[in-house]
Amino acid sequence: MTMSLWQAVATIAVVAFGTMLTRFVPFLLFPESKEPPRFIRYLGKVLPYAMTGLLVVYSLKDVSLMSGSHGIPEAIAMLAIIALHVWKKNMLLSIAGGTILYMLLVQLVFV
Amino acid sequence: MFTVTNQDQTTRTPTATSVMPPAPAPSGDAPARRRRAFEAALPLTLPIAAGFLFLGCSYGLLMHAKGFAFWYPVSMAFFIFAGSMEFVTVNLLLSAFNPLAAFLLAIMVNARHLFYGLSMLGKFRNMGWKKPYLIFAMCDETFAINSSATIPPDADRGWFMLFVSLLNRWYWIGGTALGWLVGGLLPFSTRGIEFVLTALFLVIFLDQWMGERRHAPAMIGVLASALCLCVFGADRFMIPALVLMLILFAVLRPYLDDMKADETVGTVTTDGETAAAETADDEQGEQKENGR
């Protein structure tokens, strides 16, 4: 680590503050005392679904299709999760199964 | 992901198969409503407990491997409490000191929280002293539960959401501490364990997909993000993706803004109606319906 202690503390504090801003700003902009505009309430209904989609893509953003294993282990594991989840609808099983399969793939097959 | 039930619709009458006495008095049995909230919240958080134990452990382990002291990952889990940003911060701490860049990066990586907040404006109404904590502790997974779960009518809504937030937060902090302390002792390679994050979000996505008849909002989320990822690259796609989603939702509003009928029985309840129907939740039941 190249930073001094106080530099590291300052970095963590600044990241925590920035993160908190993103969480609190909507509630500061639209306090309970006044009704949010109709458009904002509409967004509040459709955004949860879109945000989960974004999180899936976000968690895959560093996968390269052009190099390495070309995203094949990711694709196999995700297909397995979809199949498992449609079949059993058990969240823990789907997550554990897909993750273990992925670990086996990257450790044993796509090394 | 969270075995969302439709109890809200069916058990509002006192004849429900509830362990609580029928028609609980609005203020008389607050401890019972709180206990019921915990009983309803705990099972929904168990998948997160497992996920966070994996993920927190791998984070703590990573920090240990990079040579950071115990208090680094634990205080970051405690104060930042945003998994992906904590992983990013590992690299920040290993590069040159640049607080402004760190601040801007935190806002950009976490810009999605802005959209979480907009989604929860209605549900967090009238939460009193609990509200700041609910906002502070709203990570991806907590948001996913609190925005989609249907809370039993005999449970206190505020306490339910508070318990979900508290439990998830401490699963993460505990997992992180555990990972730093004992993660290195695992007798097998943990290479690839980071995929648990993708698996978690994919499963939430599948649950939402299967629990909802209309898929346009979910499709917009995936396609806008994927397109921006291709165009702008991994480090710069988040903000363009959020902007593109906003534009698409504004343009498609005439087709998407009639979701009310779906949502009264779907995974996401319209905040206003629920709050109005369950005025008994609040100590002061005097809050009027929210005008939806």
Instruction: Determine whether A22 is exposed, middle or buried from the number of CB atoms within 10 Å of its CB (0-12, 13-18, 19+).
Output: buried
Confidence of residue B252 (pLDDT cuts 50, 70, 90): very high
Domain that holds residue B42: 35-200
CA–centroid distance for B65 within its chain? 29
Q: Are A52 and B208 in contact (CB under 8 A)?
A: yes
Contact status, residue B36 vs residue B156, Cβ threshold 8 Å? yes
Q: Please give the pLDDT value at position B171.
A: 94
**A80 within domain boundaries:** yes
Check residue A1 and give its pLDDT: 62
Q: Nearest residue of A to residue B234 by CA position?
A: A61
CB B143 within 8 A of CB A49: no
Kindly state whether residue B192 falls inside one of the protein's structural domains: yes
Is residue A50, in this structure, part of any structural domain at all? no
pLDDT value at A83 more than 60: yes
Express each pLDDT in B218-238 by its tens digit: 999 999 999 999 999 987 888
**Counted domains in chain B:** 1
Which residue of chain B has the CA closest to A51? B221
Q: Do B110 and A23 touch (CB under 8 A)?
A: yes
Distance from CA of B5 to the nearest CA of A (A): 14
pLDDT in tens, B126-179: 999 999 999 999 998 898 888 877 789 999 999 999 999 999 999 999 999 998
Give the Cα separation of B281 and B143 in Å (integer): 20
Please report the pLDDT score of residue B215 as a whole number. 92
The reply to whether A83 falls in a domain is yes
Torsion angle of the four alpha carbons B99, B103, B109, B115, in this order, in degrees rounded to the nearest 10: 170
Share of chain B above pLDDT 90, in %: 36
Into how many domains does chain A fold?
1
**Is residue A74 in a domain?**
yes
In a domain, A10, yes or no: no
pLDDT tens string B14-49: 433 444 444 444 554 889 999 999 999 998 888 788
Q: Give the pLDDT confidence score for residue B82 in this predicted structure.
A: 87
B131-143 pLDDT tens trace:
999 999 999 889 8
| A81 domain-assigned | yes
Q: Answer whether residue B254 is part of any domain.
A: no
pTM, 2 dp: 0.70
Q: What is the ipTM of this complex?
A: 0.85
